[in-house]
Structure 1
């Protein structure tokens, strides 16, 4: 609705995990580097965690783009499955034919192991990527570990990428999963964006869509970090609504009051008020500490 008005060729703040819009903050670069390094190692598992909306899925899509051509990837987006259901899904993703009447853990495991050996002989790497992995049952995770037992003298024949919320870290601390935890060769926890990174993030997405960050005032950019906490998905939602409101009011620039109004529509007035007040409280606390330090210093000078 507002694209032509602001001179944009595409929606810059869609919440779809489009790798073209991935802003490679230092944290995102580290996350991608960790996953890439882990997949090159001999171990069976790599893990990426982060709060909801921090960009885990988008990083994983970028990773898929960078995998070598001789890689077959199985992607599981809904891991709320039993062990047998998970193995059947892996077979489906890898194009493995099977007889549903023979369904058992051993039958599916044998089918998958045969496929892994076949891929290895053909010079093909096999990667299993599981999103929302915090929903995996412990017995399912253990079954995944058993799949990675097939190996050569140099490497595992199956590499597993686990992507999930912080609860995944707690899940892997369980005693019965300690063997799997020891096989994780790379792990990274993706944190929200800092204030400078939020401005760069907004500028990047607008730039990809043919726009310019000047669409948002400097005060608005500060408010974006303050209210969203640096969570990319929330930034997208609020910026999209703010652009819509600015268009309806025929404003050439997204002003701070418009952005706050957009935030209140999506997050609620109470949430926005708490976050704004929380920021002010931090500033006042910092000023209080500084004033105490200055007073102490002056007192020592007079003595």
Structure 2
């Protein structure tokens, strides 16, 4: 539902144990290493414990993608309540033919003969039991007996137990000391720290197709308080929060959305009237949303409002009686033509909030105006994803968190969101700065606003376009090669007033020192790496590109 809105190629916070989304934190890498040890070192038990939702099964699924050749794996998700059920499940996983009228002895003998045959063929067999805390003491003893299946020189079965902390407590009982003594590797997965949680969310968003943060800092702090760093809770609440941001037409998740999402996940019900209001708003927005996505800071806009033909929006169900009401599309007169810099007649400095402009229309017009400043005519009907279109034109877009002063230093036009009590939020384009006045375009009209007044209303985030090097795929650093390095050498040489070197084979120390000098000139950390943050500032130094001021 919200994936197109945010420009996602996949749902980033599914609770399915998809190995693609495994965040390689230090402890998850160590947990995976312990399981890999169990795959390659026959004999004994490997024990992995962790609280509910900390990622045990996901780590195990990642292990399943790395199983060595000539290894047979039995993965038991539901071990059953009796020895016969457990041994039958193992036989099923190993494709062992069940004996007639199976009992524990017959099933154990069948498994033993299978293991002998596999060993003779040079194969190694591994048994993984998930949710092992549910095994009774008697079943755990039955599992231990399976490790007695051996030849004179080799154990025939390697066993891994995955479970909640109660499993470790159970194994500490005196009656299970023989099993406990056979555990050769133990690891306990703890919840994520705050910094790990932040990196975890960024990793899952990256796998799902975007490289920027969709959660503001306050929302992350609140999220950590309500989840305690448990990945499964993080996933569920983040999924609900992104849906909430989509319904409210917000670019990012804030702490209030996290609170509401947490209430839903914890089962706290809102009053019926509020639920109905939210449902009506969600369904109405779904009828309006048509396809304007911004990768990394995505928005779905009303495409019908951008064109001269009238279209009828899809009906929306607003209550349980399924009364259908049609939402009319905007008339052509609602979309004023874009104004060029020469056509702009600046209005009086006093800022008047537009009376008949809604959020969606202002958003679409703001991005059209932004592209117009780069001499591009943006058509969301044919290019619904804003950043993808920008990259097709050899530009890039950046969602930035920062004060107005940061944007002024970056010196490129930007789209930002204005809010005022009693009015719908509106999107505007900052097109330039003249002295102490900001030139903005709002709803197709140009106006001036004192920088002090704009700073007081500044939302703290914005979106801008910038010019990256050709074939720019990742940060350029010492050792990088290609056309992007040659381009950077040419332009940095001009900035440094030195002769440009031709046919530069790779990003060398001279280029790194020049990048550091540029970074220092802009107040950036001088690390000598040309990444998006440095690129945004450097783009404004290039000739012929739109700037806020000369």
TM class by smaller structure: 0.7 to 0.9
Distance in 2, Cα, partners of 1:268 & 1:88: 38
Give the Cα separation in 1 of the matches to 2:106 and 2:45.
23
2:74 and 2:128 in contact (8 A); partners too: yes
- State the 1:119 CA deviation: 0.6
Aligned partner of 2:77 in structure 1 is 77
Q: Is the 8 A contact 1:75 1:129 kept in 2?
A: yes
Tell me the residue number matched to 1:16.
Answer: 16
Q: Which one has a bigger Cα radius of gyration?
A: 2
Q: 1:285: which partner in 2?
A: none
Query: Counterpart of 1:4 in 2: which secondary structure?
Result: helix
Equivalent residue, structure 2, for 1:7:
7
| CA–CA distance in structure 2, aligned partners of residues 149 and 136 of structure 1 | 19
- TM-score normalised to structure 1 length: 0.85
For 2:75, what is the secondary structure of its paired residue?
strand
Superposed CA offset, 1:136-182 (max 9, x none) = 11111111111111224553110111000001011111222111111
2:176 corresponds to which residue?
A: 177
Deviation (angstroms), 1:224: 1.6
2:31 corresponds to 1:31: yes
1:40-97 CA deviation, whole Å, 9 max, x = no partner?
3342211100000000000011111112021111111112320111111111111111
Instruction: Note the residue ranges of structure 2 that are not aligned, 5 or more in a row.
Output: 270-550
Residue 213 of structure 2 aligns to a residue whose secondary structure is helix
TM-score of the pair, normalised by structure 2: 0.48
Aligned pair in 2 of structure 1 residues 249, 119: CA closer, same or farther (>3 Å)? same
Superposition map of 1:284-295 within 5 A: none
Cα drift, residue 215 of structure 1: 1.3
- Cross-structure match for 1:273: none
The answer on 1:236 being equivalent to 2:235 is: yes
What is the DSSP-based 3-state SS (H/G/I as helix, E as strand, rest coil) of the residue aligned with 1:66? coil
3-state SS, counterpart of residue 127 of structure 1: strand
* Alignment check: 8 A CA contact 2:71 2:123 kept: yes
Counterpart CA distance in 2 for 1:91 and 1:181 is 25
CA contact (8 A) 1:223 1:256 kept: yes
Q: Which has the higher contact order (CA 8 A, sep 6+)?
A: 1
**Conserved? CA contact 1:202–1:213, under 8 Å:** no
Alpha-carbon displacement from aligned partner over 1:247-298 (angstroms, at most 9, x marks no partner): 001011111111111112212569xxxxxxxxxxxxxxxxxxxxxxxxxxxx
Aligned to 2:54: 54
Check conservation: 1:43, 1:184, Cα contact below 8 A.
Answer: no
2:172 touches 2:180 (CA, 8 Å); kept in 1? yes
Shift of 1:190: 0.2
Q: After superposition, give the CA deviation of every residue in 1:211-261 in whole Å (9 maximum; x if it has no partner).
A: 234211111122221211000000000000000011001011111111111
Cα distance between partner residues in 2 of 1:83 and 1:236:
36
The CA distance in 2 between the partners of 1:38 and 1:139, in whole Å, is 24
Q: Which residue of 1 aligns with 2:110?
A: 111
- Check 1:77–1:104 CA distance in 2 against 1; reply closer, same or farther (3 A cut): same
2:124 maps to 1:146: no
